[in-house]
Structure 1
Amino acid sequence: MKKLYAILLFGLICNLCFAQDSLDKEKLLEFYQTQRYAEAASYLSSIYPPETNDVKALAQIAYCNMMAGKLVDAEKNYQKINQLQPQQFAVLFSLANINSRRGNKKSASDYLLQVVAIDSNNFSAYKRLADYTDSTGLKTQYLQKANKLNATDADVAFDLAFIHRTQKNYQPAYDVLKVAIAADTSNMILQQALLPVANQLKKYNEVIVTGEKLLKTGADGNVVMDVGKAYFFLKNYKKAIGFFQMLERMSMQNESVFYYMSLSYREMKNYEMAVKYAKLTIDESISPNITAYYNMLGGIYDEKQQLTLAANTYKKGLSYNANKNIYYRLGLLYDLKLKQPKQANTYYNLFLKSKDLEADDQPQVDYVKMRMEEFAKK
């Protein structure tokens, strides 16, 4: 028996030595340098048997498979390493990365939670955990932990400040960004993120100084808006209008821009322009589909036999835009259900005069004409 064990041990040693001696390190290096990772993985797999427990070999094969995009094979290799030598950070991070790339965020998070269970101060794990969760509460918790461990990391500071801002916690958002900006004074992304927060905290002069410096490198619409608002709140309405007009020239006007322009002109007693932009504010705030929505709602009331409510709802839709479908439905409502032919005739007429009638509307057109002829005979 001892002789048999000796023979088996000798064979294993010989096989291991053979595998190591036959490895062409220069060939492997060439694969790495030319980023031919799939070939490198195949080459290593041809040297080391599938049942190998050589952790270094498995790590090389796993890495090459991962870099080659062969994620299933890479995961199998890393899982085997994790079984042989558990709790290795590099392996757990690699498994988390692979699962993330495959869309399995839960498994990715599970591997990272194993990391923080071993090292509760692992910044990278908390940073990635924040990326992998859809829970705002957990994301905030992970980002706060990561930010506490490294307050100068720009990505964490930006994401954490964004959450604070959406929750209207403006002072914490401001504080987080200021620390990160102090560590990287040339980071324009962080400085831009600071502007709307600073406006909320009434730090208008800071917004103007920072914003105008940023605009020297390029006219970003969000920066222009923040600076314009800062001038507005400082009651420098002429300056504010100048920035808002810049947004118009950039075709970046919206409801908010028109609103502040109307208020600025009103404060300057230019009521004609104030009215113009007030109307534009209203137009911009109304969905182009609102008439169709009222048409839908009116139809529901119509089916429920709430006829007066249906008529009023249809008419509300017409107060925004003319609509052939609403004219037709109102005609039918007054004709067939409310028995008011005069009103029905009015809306049938408006339907026929609609400029957007199409070939598909011909059956409705024929019906309306027939009904109007019948009205005329009575």
Structure 2
Amino acid sequence: MNKFIFLLLLFAATTAEAQTSALAVADSLYAVGNYSEAIKLLEKSETKSEAVLLKLAQAQKANGNLNAALHNYQGVLESNPNRVLTTVEYGKLLSSTGKLEMADSIFTHLMKKYPINAEFHYQLGLIREKRKDSTAMKHYNLAVLINRTHQQALIKVSKNVLVKGKVSRAERLAKQGLEVNPANIALLSILAQAYYYQKEYKQAIVEFEKLVDLGHGSEFVHTKIGTAYFHLENYEKAIANFNSALNYEEENHATHYSLGKLYALMGEYKNSEGHLLQAILLKDVILDEEFTSLGLTYKYSDEPKKAMEYFNKALAENPDNERAMFERAVVADSYFKDLETRMNYFQAYLKRFGETGSPNLLLLAQYRVKDLREEIHMNPAAK
């Protein structure tokens, strides 16, 4: 063999070996998260082969040098445009850096070339969604049509139909994805909500509690479980879950309000009072419902003076609160000795709500006015 050719081959072999060694070391550095050192090593490589540029782009992307990574992906694709996986990575990076038009072009090309690839439709859907393009959902649906268990596309589609009130379809789609990944947190949440909004409270509780078991409890999750138990009249478990909700957001007005009402139902009026007062302190808008609930708590605790005070506060906040005006009359009936005073409260209720009030409450008020009138007539001294 010619000596020159021999030396040339030896040099090529040495160079290839050095490049292979550099890639192996860079791989090791990349694997342990030492991206900066991997980048330095690869940038020193004399031969910028596709393998080196790809590894360099991956390390730069991981290290946050996104423009440099884009430049190197582009370099690889200019020399070899048929590298599909590299094209996908390049398109995703373009999308994440806000270069949406270029990313759209790349995934549109891939989608046309590979029309039954669900992932390409999904990625195009993500880009179109960022661009506020109404065709995004079409591509998510196509991804699910091609691959019925595509997890991310199923999340997008099932969430969309849930928001639109198509809860039975949301249920079906969520179950579809959970067949292959029973621990998909987003799909479990969508399924639980679908059951909840269909008033299938027992099934909703099962799915929400799976989220808790998987370490994804939240104020939202425990509130929904608590409300579901309330509808099932399991007040103890409802209270336990609303208290758990407070662990995530202790100053949530609505949670304190729910606990106040639940404790009242359980006859625990001191606890009810505490939570309702807390709800009032935390709420900065109209408080008539909270005042009404607190009035009822004092009514059931045989504290009519306080009950009257809070029913009056409720009516000051909202004169159209029928329940507060009726309950105020009921409390006045037991609190005041003067029969005409007691009757006046019922008459005030009838005057205000005679045309629009609850038929049952109106009937009770009318009967009581009639009884009081007879009592006054029979015993004028008791006026």
TM-score by length of 1: 0.61
Alpha-carbon offset, residue 139 of structure 1: 5.4
1:192 aligns with 2:223: yes
Match of 1:52 among 68, 81, 98: 81
Q: Distance in 2 between matches of 1:95 and 1:210?
A: 41
> Which whole-Å CA distance do the structure 2 matches of 1:146 and 1:172 have between them?
14
Matches within 5 A, 1:79-158: 79-104=108-133, 106-133=134-161, 136-138=164-166, 140-147=168-175, 149-150=177-178, 152-158=183-189
Change (3 A) 1:110 1:171: same
Identify the match of residue 271 of structure 1 among 304, 325, 337.
Answer: 304
Moved more, 201-210 or 250-259: 250-259
Note if contact 1:215-1:223 (Cα within 8 Å) is conserved in structure 2.
Answer: yes
Of 237, 245, 260, 1:228 maps to: 260
Separation in 2, partners of 1:196, 1:239: 18
Cα deviation for residue 240 of structure 1 reads: 0.9
How do residues 238-253 of structure 1 correspond to structure 2 at under 5 angstroms?
238-251=270-283
| C-alpha contact (below 8 Å) 2:192/2:203 kept by paired residues | yes
Given that 2:219 and 2:248 are in contact with CA atoms closer than 8 Å, whether structure 1 keeps it comes out as: no
**Residue 261 (structure 1) aligns with:** 294
Alpha carbons 1:199, 1:226 under 8 Å: kept: no
- Looking at structure 2, the residues matched to 187 and 209 of structure 1 have their Cα atoms a distance apart, in angstroms, of 14
Tell me the distance in 1 between the aligned counterparts of 2:216 and 2:201. 21
Say what the alpha-carbon RMSD is for the aligned residues.
Answer: 3.4
SS at match of 2:116: coil
User: Shift in Å at residue 218 of structure 1?
Assistant: 5.3
Moved more, 27-36 or 152-161: 152-161
Q: Quick one: which of 317, 322, 336 aligns to 1:284? A: 317
The alignment partner of 1:52 has SS state of coil
Counterpart of 2:236 in 1: which secondary structure?
Answer: helix
User: How much does 1:192 deviate?
Assistant: 2.8
Name whichever of 108-117 and 147-156 sits farther off: 147-156
Hey, what's the Cα distance between the residues in 2 that align with 1:173 and 1:142? Answer: 13
Q: How many residues align structurally? A: 270
The letter for the 2-side match of 1:206 is: K
Structure 1 residues 33, 236: closer, same or farther in 2, change over 3 A? closer
- C-alpha change, 1:139 and 1:85, in structure 2 (3 Å) is same
Q: Which position in structure 2 is the counterpart of 1:72?
A: 101
- Using a 3 Å threshold, how does the CA distance of structure 1 residues 179 and 168 change in structure 2: closer, same or farther? same
Equivalent-residue separation in structure 1 for 2:58 and 2:149 (angstroms): 35
Structure 1: runs of 5+ lacking an equivalent = 1-17, 288-318, 320-378
Q: 2:243 aligns with which of 203, 212, 217?
A: 212
State the identity %: 14
Distance 1:120 1:186, change over 3 A: closer
- Matched residue of 1:193: which SS? helix
- Give a deviation string over 1:206-255, Cα, whole Å, max 9, x none: 12233334545652423322222211111222321121112233346833
Deviation at 1:171, TM superposition (A): 4.1
Q: Deviations over 1:295-331 (max 9, x none)?
A: xxxxxxxxxxxxxxxxxxxxxxxx9xxxxxxxxxxxx
1:24–1:239 CA distance, 2 compared to 1 (3 A): closer
Shift of 1:149: 4.0
Structure 1's 149 and 52: CA in aligned 2 closer, same or farther, altered over 3 A?
closer
Is 1:173 the counterpart of 2:201 in the alignment? no
| 1:77 partner amino acid | I
Deviations 1:131-171 (A, max 9, x none): 34586344541344214642654433444444554555544
Partner of 2:378: none
Corresponding position of 2:61: 32
Does 1:202 find its partner at 2:233? yes
Is 1:237 matched up with 2:269? yes
Structure 2, gaps ≥5 residues long: 1-46, 321-351, 353-383
Partners of 2:161 and 2:123 lie apart in 1 by 18
Please say if residues 99 and 107 of structure 1, whose CA atoms lie closer than 8 Å, have aligned partners that are also in contact: yes
**Partner deviation per Cα, 1:184-208 (whole Å, 9 max, x = no partner):** 4855542232112211221101122
SS at match of 2:148: coil
Per the normalisation by structure 2, the TM-score is: 0.60
Residues 278 and 214 of structure 1: CA distance in aligned 2, closer, same or farther (over 3 Å): same
Q: Distance in 1 between matches of 2:208 and 2:162?
A: 23
Q: Is the 8 A contact 2:222 2:244 kept in 1?
A: no
Provide closer, same or farther for how the CA distance between residues 26 and 128 of structure 1 changes in structure 2, counting only shifts above 3 A.
closer
Residue 306 of structure 1 corresponds to none
**More off after superposition, 89-98 vs 163-172:** 163-172
Q: Contact 1:41/1:61 (CA < 8 Å) preserved in 2?
A: yes
Aligned to 2:31: none
Amino acid at match of 1:35: G
Given the superposition, is the C-alpha separation of residues 187 and 249 from structure 1 closer, same or farther in structure 2, using an over 3 Å criterion? closer
Gap change, CA 1:170 and 1:113, over 3 Å in 2 = same
- Alpha-carbon distance between aligned partners in 2 of 1:201 and 1:285, rounded to the nearest angstrom: 31
